[in-house]
């Protein structure tokens, strides 16, 4: 006849293993809120992403209820009568301020480009200039615009350089002007 105590000892796990399992389960439960917070979700109610959450090549899959971003693009700003713009100060600044005064002087561009009025930049033949001007206007006039004025300025100053614009320090990869334009077109629904 076998000893029931011996069977019980064999069936009981090693106390060190049990403690290890307990710690693993506790750690898993404690980290659940963190994993839920890391769940992929759109950044804004309109499903628009800020620069650090946007991937130029990775935004092809969208939820079924996707609402595209719909901020004003260059032609939207140009076609809206100045009297309908968000503020008189913005109307005046757009008519008088130059790119170098709003976004900073960019050594990658000639003086004639740096000295272009913001309103005229909206009609530039260069998509980078055109979209950066519109992004600047969106960032100063609409708090919901995902890119801040500081980020738009960084895109303007760093995009055309060999270093490029880095949307997020932990992202590691930089964007060239074409990738910046792709992001801004995404935000402006164009």
CA angle (42 as vertex; 28, 138 as ends), nearest 5: 140
What pLDDT is recorded for position 42? Answer: 36
Query: By C-alpha distance, which of 42, 49, 43, 55 is closest to 175?
Result: 55
SS3 string, 26-85, reads HHHHHHHHHHHHCCCCCCCCCCCCCHHHCCCCCCCCCCCCCCCCCCCCHHHHHHCCHHHC
pLDDT tens digits for the chain (190 residues)?
A: 566 555 555 555 566 666 766 666 665 555 444 444 443 333 333 457 656 555 555 544 555 554 567 899 999 999 988 888 888 778 888 888 999 999 999 999 999 999 999 999 999 999 999 999 999 999 998 888 989 999 999 999 999 998 899 888 776 788 999 999 999 998 998 8
What pLDDT is recorded for position 90? Answer: 83
What is the spatial distance between Cα 49 and Cα 55, in angstroms, rounded to a whole number? 9
**Contact yes or no for 102/156 (Cβ under 8 A):** no
What pLDDT is recorded for position 96? Answer: 87
What is the spatial distance between Cα 112 and Cα 122, in angstroms, rounded to a whole number? 15
**Contact yes or no for 170/153 (Cβ under 8 A):** no
**Contact yes or no for 124/134 (Cβ under 8 A):** no
**Contact yes or no for 117/98 (Cβ under 8 A):** yes
What is the spatial distance between Cα 168 and Cα 172, in angstroms, rounded to a whole number? 7
How many of the other CB atoms lie within 10 Å of CB of 118? 23
* Structure tokens given for 171: 């992202």
* Structure tokens given for 176: 């060239």
What pLDDT is recorded for position 135? Answer: 96
């Amino acid at each position: 006849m076998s000893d029931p105590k011996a069977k019980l000892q064999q069936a009981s796990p090693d106390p060190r293993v049990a403690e290890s399992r307990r710690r693993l389960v506790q750690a898993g439960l404690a980290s659940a809120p963190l994993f839920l917070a890391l769940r992929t979700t759109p950044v804004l109610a309109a499903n628009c992403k800020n620069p650090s959450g946007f991937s130029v090549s990775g935004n092809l899959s969208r939820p079924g209820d996707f609402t595209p971003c719909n901020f004003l693009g260059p032609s939207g700003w140009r076609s809206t009568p100045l009297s309908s713009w968000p503020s008189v100060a913005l109307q005046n600044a757009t008519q008088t301020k130059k790119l170098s005064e709003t976004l900073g002087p960019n050594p990658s561009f000639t003086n004639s480009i740096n000295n272009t009025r913001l309103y005229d930049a909206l009609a530039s033949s260069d998509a980078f200039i055109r979209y950066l001007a519109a992004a600047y206007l969106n960032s100063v006039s609409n708090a919901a615009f995902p890119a801040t004025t500081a980020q738009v300025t960084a895109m303007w100053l760093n995009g055309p350089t060999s270093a490029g614009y880095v949307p997020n320090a932990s992202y590691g990869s930089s964007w060239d002007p074409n990738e910046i334009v792709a992001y801004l077109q995404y935000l402006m629904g164009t």
